[in-house]
Amino acid sequence: MKLVVLREAARGERRVAVIPPSVPSLTAAGVEVAVETGAGRGALWSDHAYLEAGATVAPAGELLRDADVVTSIRLPSPALLGELRPGATYVGLWSPGAEPEAIRALLAVGASSFSLELLPRITRAQSMDVLSSQATVAGYHGALLAAARLGRFFPMLMTAAGTIPPAKVFVLGAGVAGLQAIATARRLGAVVTGHDVRAAAGGEVESLGARFVGLPAADLAEGEGGYAAAQPEEQLRRQREAIADSVAGSDAVITTAAIPGRRAPVVLTEGMLARLAPGSLVVDLAADSGGNTELTKPGEEVHVGGATVLGVTNPPGSMPVHASQLYSRNVTTFLVSLVRGGALVEELEDEILESTCVTWKGQLRQQRFAPTAGGEGSRGGAGGSTQGPTAAGGAHAGAVSATRPEAAHGTEPEAAHGTEPGAVRGTEPGATGGTGPGALDGSDR
């Protein structure tokens, strides 16, 4: 079975789906690995490293014609999907509910396709869980960005020149990204408060040494599979009231709230942001799916009163080396589960393959993703949650599809939004070049 690893086409995306250290376990499963020229460059893997690992390297055009399985993190263009060999298979982190054109292209070439966004968040799938691995990177990056851009110490300092109190950090949404942001801000010495609309999050937040601000039972918003559910406006209003003082009293706020299949919930209003003290900072990791504040602009910083709101796009892409390493391990485990005796499985034998399958041998496997006549996506419901912090690799089905502001495949991606990595429109002191902690966009030029 021949697997082709594409170079990411999305503008500025530096991650790669499979890194050289994963090639031997694929080869051992009877998979012949071929990698598009330059695919690993953004994650610091040379073409030579892939050759040494036993893969072949060539331009996509040469590889696609006899590829059995094609993989990338972010969805390639419908045009490229149309170049797949009839009956081939595509595997990636994409939101089928928001990609009707891609589904049409896949059906037109009789392809099978899998979306890792639809992976059930069950223990048996943890080793394949790209949502969690990428959310971990996003949460870590969010806390570092807050620490670097706040312009104050996160830890308490006792010096001969006096004592500086620790920074107060509020983390909205305590899923995988939020818990990582809490843990990282704690490690940096800040006093941290976490908040979520799921009761179960309380224990996880407190286990990290942070305070948890919960909601009365009537205002919890528990959805399927451990995810949150959308809240009616009245419930959101009560939630805002419940957290307003905690938010207003914080030096930095990191937002990670997300709901599967929907735009990110807008929890922080302009009024709440205006109560923040001068110099306060909001790091919105859900910007790719619309953001958790009324003022968030993806890839930009917005000033309100004396506070600043950073709309962070593609946060997992901010650390392409480790984000790719984790992703590669996840997707390799998934790909090996697709192989039997060196060939693709003939039947979708288990819940994981069944849940993630979008098209199977040219037939739509999940009707909820049927492209509508109007060309719109079906905004298929729950299952898989990706927008929010892991947006740029996927998207809550139907949410703001920020996945592919791409350059034509194979050409040099150009600078996005006219912003240099690390530079931010309306840059404040402290913004650093490159994609260091000051960076708003996890992508590179």
Residues known to be catalytic:
121, 126, 129, 132, 227
User: Closer to ligand NAD at the Cβ: 37 or 269?
Assistant: 269
Give 167 or 267: the residue with its C-beta nearer to ligand NAD.
267
256 binds ligand NAD (CB under 6 A): yes
Asked if 131 interacts with ligand NAD (CB under 6 A), we say yes
CB closer to ligand NAD, 260 vs 405: 260
Which of these ranges, 1-9, 250-258, 322-330, 335-343, lies near ligand NAD under the rule CB under 6 A? 250-258
Is residue 227 part of the contact set for ligand NAD (CB under 6 A)?
yes
Asked if 258 is part of the footprint of ligand NAD (rule: CB under 6 A), the reply reads: yes
Instruction: List the one residue from 265, 291, 398, 442 that touches ligand NAD (CB under 6 A).
Output: 265
Q: Which stretch binds ligand NAD (CB under 6 A): 190-198, 206-214, 309-317, 369-377?
A: 190-198
Of 90 and 227, the one with the shorter C-beta distance to ligand NAD is 227
* Residue 138 contacts ligand NAD per CB under 6 A: no
Options 9, 128, 176, 319; binder of ligand NAD; rule CB under 6 A: 176
Q: Is 175 in the site for ligand NAD (CB under 6 A)?
A: yes
Between 138 and 281, name the residue whose CB sits nearer to ligand NAD: 138
Binding mask 343-382 for ligand NAD (x = CB under 6 A): ----------------------------------------
Compute the least distance from the CB of residue 222 to ligand NAD, in Å.
Answer: 8
Residue whose beta carbon is closest to ligand NAD: 175
Position of tokens 């990056």? 141
User: Which region among 10-18, 123-131, 313-321, 372-380 touches ligand NAD (by CB under 6 A)?
Assistant: 123-131
In the numeric block, the tokens 């331009």 are attached to 59
Q: Where does this chain bind ligand NAD (CB under 6 A)?
A: 121-123, 126, 129, 131-132, 135, 172-178, 195-198, 201, 226-228, 231, 256-260, 265, 267, 385, 388
